[in-house]
Amino acid sequence: MGPMQTIVKGRCAYEPTYHAMQAFTAARDSATADALWLCEHGAVYTQGLAGRSAHLLVPSAIPVVATDRGGQVTFHGPGQVVAYPLLDLRRAGYYVKEYVYRIEEAVIRTLRHWGVTGHRVPGAPGIYVRVDDPGGHARLEFAVTADKPDFAGLGKIAALGVKVSRHCAYHGVALNVAMDLSPFEAINPCGYAGLRTVDLSTIGVDVGWEEAAAALGQRLVQGLSP
């Protein structure tokens, strides 16, 4: 079994890519090599299985695609690296919770490459940065509320949603690089009202899509290996 194969698809439409992931996962067997697709999509909202239409606040011309991943509504658009690991979890030897942790860790290590400190927020998958001090290393202090994570001072820079079918994972993680962030204002990102979304350019990191995709892809391949 060879290592995970990285395929840079670049700009590609969301819906056919989604269906291709489903088809790849349905057709794979124990001998199929894992793959990592690195994509950039045109403007689209995607709704997770738990998604509630109430989180789409403002009607717009941007299409909404219902998907089978976990989570709520998010936005994909130009200037965002969307990474889809197509991974046999049973062969890799870990469960979904650790899989999500490893994806988040790969994003944190990618951000560290540019001097940015990524943070996890308990109960809210994805990676966040301190908007006023993106490179600071101070730990986050969380107000403990059972129903709503504390996002004070934070911006979400990477959204995560996965699906596991027959022990094989698809969907993945989206890292905001340099994009028009205004479509996020029309939604409650990942179901959280008032959660700010940022990208690398907002916090002072000037990097192109190809470089960001290569950096994230390399760390995902390293971090997801058994």
Burial of 64 (0-12, 13-18, 19+ CB in 10 A): middle
CA-based nearest residue to 179, from 202, 195, 158 = 202
pLDDT band for position 129 (cuts 50, 70, 90): very high
Q: Residue 115 and residue 39: Cα distance in Å, rounded?
A: 24
In this structure, of 27-41, 123-137, 166-180, the range with the lowest mean pLDDT score is 123-137
Residues 6-47 have pLDDT tens digits of: 999 999 999 999 999 999 999 999 999 999 999 999 999 999
Question: Is 12 tagged catalytic?
Answer: no
Spot the catalytic one: 12, 39, 168, 190. 190
What CATH number labels 5-224?
A: 3.30.930.10
Closest C-alpha among 212, 147, 172, 167 to residue 84: 172
Write down the pTM of the prediction.
0.95
- Break the chain into its structural domains and give their ranges: 5-224
| 154-165 and 168-176 beta bridge pairing | antiparallel
Using the structure block, give the residue that is written with the tokens 């994806």: 103
What pLDDT sits at residue 151? 87
Spatial separation of the C-alpha atoms in residues 59 and 62, rounded to whole Å:
8
Q: So what's the pLDDT on residue 1?
A: 57
- Res. 221 pLDDT band, cuts 50 70 90: very high
Structure tokens at 146: 């059972």
Output the CA angle 17-74-4, nearest 5 degrees.
Answer: 45
Say how far residue 119 (Cα) sits from the centre of its chain: 14
